[in-house]
């Protein structure tokens, strides 16, 4: 299937003693759920633990969760699993349902978006990932309501590292750009852009041109449009 056996064994030592017939049964089961054989190398490569899962107690509950909790039709299982293979190694009781409950409480009501666009949020720990990210935004000076509004507008905020993303980008925003919290509240997507490749170069060009450019326009526009904005403003 094209799986790196050395890496898979390192990540899941139980594979050493896994009988071939049980692995074959898992492959057959996943295919019965619409997963293509060509998908499995990537899926197993990312999550080799799947290969030693118990179909009845581990895998079937995940597909039931997709069907009944996220309302994903069976013909779309493949799309969701390919988007986030980690769903298959996540406990429905201990991980998926608590995450869905927490996200729903914050205001994530669109099950379609959670299933097809942001399923990674469902495999993120509520206590160790989701709550700390929200708390960090509040620590910057945002109200809890504003922080929630930001993650609803840009769910990717829940996936960014505090140390490697939030802190350096906020430091640059506050100290070099003299930015206001209101700007980030209105455009939380700021944190999705590369600091070195997008934010700093665009900001420095705007400063050198003596042009004040709104944060969304500064970062979202194409190079051609950005140059035009600088010419018009100078």
3-state helix, strand, coil in the chain (%, to 5): 80, 0, 20
Task: Please report the sign of the dihedral spanned by the C-alpha atoms of residue 87, residue 124, residue 109, residue 118.
Answer: negative
Residues 120, 132, single domain; the answer is no
Residues 156, 139, single domain; the answer is yes
Same domain? For 9 and 69 the reply is: yes
Contacts of 202 (CB under 8 A, 6+ apart): 213, 218, 219, 226
Whole-number pLDDT of residue 52 = 85
Q: Which residue has the tokens 């492959």?
A: 27
Torsion of CA 94, 97, 100, 103, to 10 degrees: -50
For residue 45, what pLDDT is reported?
Answer: 83
Last-in-domain residue among 124, 146, 177: 124
Q: Which domain holds residue 67?
A: 5-124
**CATH code for position 224:** 1.25.70.10
Number of domains in the chain: 2
Q: What is the pLDDT of residue 4?
A: 46
**DSSP string of 56-78?**
IIIIHHHHHIIIIIS---GGGHH
52 and 150 in one domain? no
pLDDT of residue 14: 54
One domain, residues 31 and 114:
yes
**Do residue 119 and residue 142 come from a single domain?**
no
Query: Does one domain contain both 65 and 155?
Result: no
Residues 32 and 83 in one domain: yes
The pLDDT assigned to 2 comes to 52
Exposure string of 181-211, with b = 16+ CB inside 10 Å and e = fewer, is beebbbbbbbbbeebeeebeebbeebeeeee
Quick one: 110 and 199 in the same domain? no
The predicted structure's pLDDT at residue 22: 81
Q: Are 120 and 49 within one domain? A: yes
Quick one: angle between helices 144-153 and 131-139, nearest 10?
Answer: 120
One domain for residues 62 and 103: yes
Same domain, residue pair 137 and 228: yes
Q: End-to-end distance of the chain based on CA atoms, in angstroms?
A: 58
pLDDT given at position 18: 56
pLDDT in tens, the chain (234 residues): 555 455 544 455 555 555 677 888 999 999 999 999 899 889 988 888 888 889 999 999 999 999 999 999 999 999 999 999 999 999 999 999 999 999 999 999 999 999 999 999 999 999 999 999 999 999 999 999 999 999 999 999 999 999 999 999 999 999 999 999 999 999 999 999 999 999 999 999 999 988 888 999 999 999 999 988 888 875
């Amino acid at each position: 299937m094209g799986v790196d056996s050395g890496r898979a064994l390192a990540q899941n030592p139980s594979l050493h003693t896994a009988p071939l017939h049980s692995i074959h049964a898992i492959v057959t089961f996943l295919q019965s759920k619409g997963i293509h054989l060509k998908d499995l190398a990537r899926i197993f490569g990312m999550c080799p633990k799947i290969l030693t899962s118990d179909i009845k107690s581990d895998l079937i509950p995940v597909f039931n969760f997709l069907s009944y909790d996220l309302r994903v039709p069976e013909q779309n299982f493949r799309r969701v699993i390919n988007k986030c293979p980690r769903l298959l190694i996540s406990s429905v009781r201990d991980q998926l349902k608590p995450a869905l409950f927490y996200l729903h409480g914050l205001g994530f009501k669109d099950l379609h978006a959670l299933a097809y666009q942001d399923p990674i949020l469902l495999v993120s720990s509520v206590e160790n990932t989701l709550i700390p990210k929200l708390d960090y935004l509040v620590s910057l000076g945002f109200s809890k309501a504003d922080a929630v509004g930001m993650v609803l507008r840009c769910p990717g905020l829940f996936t960014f590292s505090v140390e490697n993303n939030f802190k350096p980008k906020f430091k640059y925003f506050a100290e070099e750009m003299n930015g206001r919290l209101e700007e980030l509240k209105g455009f939380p997507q700021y944190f999705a852009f590369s600091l070195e490749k997008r934010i700093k170069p665009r900001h420095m060009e705007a400063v050198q041109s003596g042009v004040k450019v709104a944060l969304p326009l500064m970062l979202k526009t194409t190079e051609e449009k950005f140059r035009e904005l600088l010419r018009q403003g100078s």
